[in-house]
Amino acid sequence: MRHCGSSSRLVSNANRNDIFKPLPFHDMWIDSHCHLQAPEFDADRATVWQEACALGVRDMLVPAVGLADCALVGACCARHSGLHPAYGIHPLYVGQAAESDLNGLNALLKSARPVAIGEIGLDGLVADVDFARQEFFFIAQLKLARAFDLPVVLHVRKAIDTVLKHLRRIRVRGGIAHAFNGSRQQADEFLRLGFKLGFGGSLTYAGSTRIRSLAQNLPEEALALETDAPDIPPCWLNRGNRMNADETSHHAFCEAQRSIPLLHPHKGRGVIDHRERNTPAQLPAIGAVLAELRATSVEHIASVTRQNTLAALSLILAP
Ligand SMILES: [Zn+2]
- pLDDT value of residue 27: 63
Residue 191 lies in a domain: yes
- Is residue 121 left, alpha or beta, with left meaning phi > 0 and alpha meaning psi from -120 to 50? left
Residue 21: which pLDDT band, with cuts at 50, 70 and 90? low
Domain that holds residue 294: 29-313
Q: Is the pLDDT of residue 10 over 60?
A: no
The alpha carbon of 231 and the centre of ligand 1 are apart by a number of angstroms equal to 8
- Residues 239-281 have pLDDT tens digits of 544 433 333 333 333 333 333 333 443 333 344 444 589 999 9
Q: pLDDT over 90 for what percent of the chain?
A: 75
Q: How far is the centre of ligand 1, averaged over its atoms, from the C-alpha of 33 (Å)?
A: 6
The pLDDT of 177-201, averaged and rounded, is 97
* Total number of domains constituting the chain: 1
C-alpha of residue 52 to centroid of ligand 1, in Å:
18
In this predicted model, what pLDDT tens digit does every residue of 159-186 receive, in sequence order? 999 999 999 999 999 999 999 999 999 9
- Say if CB 302 and CB 287 are below 8 A apart: yes
Q: Which pLDDT score, from 0 to 100, does residue 113 have? A: 87
Enclosing H/E stretch for 135: helix 131-148
Residues 6 or more apart in contact with residue 215 via CB below 8 angstroms: 199, 203, 223, 290, 293, 294
| Domain harbouring 100, CATH code | 3.20.20.140
- H/E run at residue 122: strand 116-123
Distance 232 CA to ligand 1 centre (A): 10
User: Residue 279 C-alpha to ligand 1 middle, in angstroms?
Assistant: 13
pLDDT higher than threshold 60 for residue 1: no
> Is residue 226 assigned to a domain?
yes
What's the CA-to-centroid distance between 228 and ligand 1, angstroms? 5
Q: Provide the pairing of β-strand 116-123 with 83-87.
A: parallel
Strand order across the 195-199 sheet? 29-31, 57-63, 83-87, 116-123, 152-157, 175-178, 195-199, 223-225
Residue 318: inside a domain = no
- Residue 85 Cα to ligand 1 midpoint, Å, equals 12
Q: Is residue 298 part of a domain?
A: yes
Please compute the mean of the pLDDT values over residues 90-103 and round it to a whole number.
97
Alpha carbon of 273 to ligand 1 centroid (Å): 17
Q: What average pLDDT does the structure give for the chain?
A: 84
Which residue in 76, 111, 105, 78 sits closest to 90, CA to CA? Answer: 105
CA 178–ligand 1 middle distance (angstroms): 8
